[in-house]
Amino acid sequence: MSGMAGTRVLVTGAGGFVGSHLVERLVRDGAQVRGFFRYTSTGTLGHLSDSPVCSDVEPFLGDVRDGPLVTRAVRDRDVVFHLAALIGIPYSYDAPASYVATNIDGTLNILNAARSIGARVVHTSTSEVYGTAQRVPIDESHPLNAQSPYAATKIGADMLALSFHRSFGDAVAVLRPFNVYGPRQSARAVIPTIVGQLLNGSEVRIGSLTPRRDLTFVTDTVEAFIRTAGTADAIGRVINVGTGRSTSIADLIAIVGKVVGRQPVIVGEPDRVRPATSEVEVLQADASLAAQLLGWRATVSLEDGLKDTADWIADHIDEYGQASRYVR
């Protein structure tokens, strides 16, 4: 058991990649978990549908854009982990209004509901808000520079969250993960794209090879969420969560090749290249504040994390069989 034992929590985005891992950890730690899942006519609970903890989670189906519904979801909760968001960067070029509605308006609904009952909120940010690093490593005082509509909406949501602390004294913390990866991540993300292609052959269709990313395994990120919820000094703060190391896409392909036993053949695909002024070239975290406030450091090596990820994708290869096909 951890400090979360008996705590009544709501996790938005509970069926997603990071959200499902967080829910499983919370259940194992003895929390009373309500999961907020985006409603569909199938009633799916996303990645939790087949999880061994599914029966231990109270499901709540809805949409974070619906304020009255969010208020009902947040009722009687002690802590809200807010992960629900539209996250695909390329699609945000096509549908920016959707990102505003979900990422900004949805966050406002969460904050209003939590404020009404005094619940603590751990709001999920993203390293994309920094844009290409102006200095490395990137600490929390680094300028914010949205290079995509997605990043702009996340900046807006972050500022809303912090404003509720400053204006009303609400217990809000902003966790800013860097480049989370691991089992269950969408096939459209770069690591599943590379792994899925190499499990099916040697050819890797990819866009830019030069961007560098701070790749953080999902269990390490989940640990940071748990610690943030239980740390009073995290309130009102933005906290970076990353390894402090960056890896280029070219080097990542080579490492994945070793992990899965393939010699990659790289094929450039222009459709996968972001607009020149939109590509974030370098993300590398200064996570010293997380170490200071939370006692947190990343513990999973890139090689070990990639092996666990590749093993999971191999067991679900039908879902990743079209990894070479670009999806915005």
Residue 212 sits at the vertex; the CA angle it makes with 220 and 146, to the nearest 5 degrees, is: 90
The percent of the chain in helix, strand and coil, each rounded to the nearest 5, is 45, 15, 40
What's phi and psi for 32, nearest 5 deg? -95, 105
Question: Tokens 């915005």 belong to which residue?
Answer: 328
Nearest alpha carbon to residue 322 among 187, 186, 183:
187
- Can 181 be counted among the known catalytic residues? no
Amino acid 143 reads: P
- 306: Cβ–Cβ under 8 A, 6 or more apart, which residues? 181, 191, 195, 255, 256, 259
Retrieve residue 226's tokens: 């748990």
Any idea which residue has 């390894």 for tokens?
243
Contacts of 203 (CB under 8 A, 6+ apart): 197, 264, 265, 267, 324
Instruction: Find the catalytic residue in 91, 130, 150, 181.
Output: 150
Distance of alpha carbon 14 from alpha carbon 320, whole angstroms: 22
Catalytically active residues are 150
